[in-house]
Amino acid sequence: MELTIKRFEELTAAELYEIYRVRVAVFVVEQECAYQEVDDADRRCWHVFLHDDDGIAAYCRVIDAGVTFDETSIGRVLSLRRGRGLGTRIVEAGLDVARTRADATVVHIEAQTHARGMYERLGFVQVSDEFLEDGIPHIGMIWRDDTAADRRV
């Protein structure tokens, strides 16, 4: 399994097509949500994906601070091969991108409520009541880099 991290302008047409194909398959078709899945945030983020010869297996995007929230954000998290730990791996990769490429010490997400446990195991803390987004229960969560002060010394 190979990890790829690219800004929007670095993606090939084939990579961008595959990203949009899997995101629409999961978030629009599988979850039955009619919404604008492709948005302007795609141009202001890192696209992070695990892939092999069969295509993308897991994906997330790390969105620049100030686009969605004041803080850097991770979104569009998906795993096509469920039960193999790829969701956790892709979020860990996203957090590494947030720390090392965006110099983020805080990451703000809106997580689907059913995935709360995975995010809590990765250090996220719930910061909002549950709310509906496109008919799916979500919660706001924050992750803080406890090692940030050590890196700046």
Number of H helices, E strands in the chain: 4, 8
Write down the pLDDT at residue 146. 82
For 142, the domain range is 2-152
Q: Is the dihedral of CA 57, 58, 64, 66 positive or negative?
A: positive
What's 99's domain CATH number? 3.40.630.30
**Exposure string (b/e) for 94-126, b if CB count within 10 Å is 16 or more?**
bbebbbeebebbbbbbbbeeebbeebeeeebee
Amino acid identity of 69?
A: F
> Nearest-CA neighbor of 27 among 50, 1, 3, 61?
61
- pLDDT bucket at 43, cuts 50 / 70 / 90: very high
106 CA to centre of own chain: 14
Q: Which of 75, 69, 62 is nearest to 27 (CA)?
A: 75
Record the tokens describing residue 103, joined without a space.
């110099």
Amino acid identity for residue 83 in this structure: G
Summary mean pLDDT of the chain: 92
Pair 39, 52: CB distance under 8 Å: no
d(CA 11, CA 8): 6
pLDDT digits (tens, 9 = 90+) for 79-123: 998 888 999 999 999 999 999 999 999 999 999 999 999 999 999
The structure's pTM equals 0.91
What pLDDT digit, counting tens, does each position of 20-33 carry?
A: 999 999 988 888 88
Q: How many domains does the chain have?
A: 1
Copy the structure tokens of residue 4: 């790829």
Average pLDDT over residues 53-73: 95
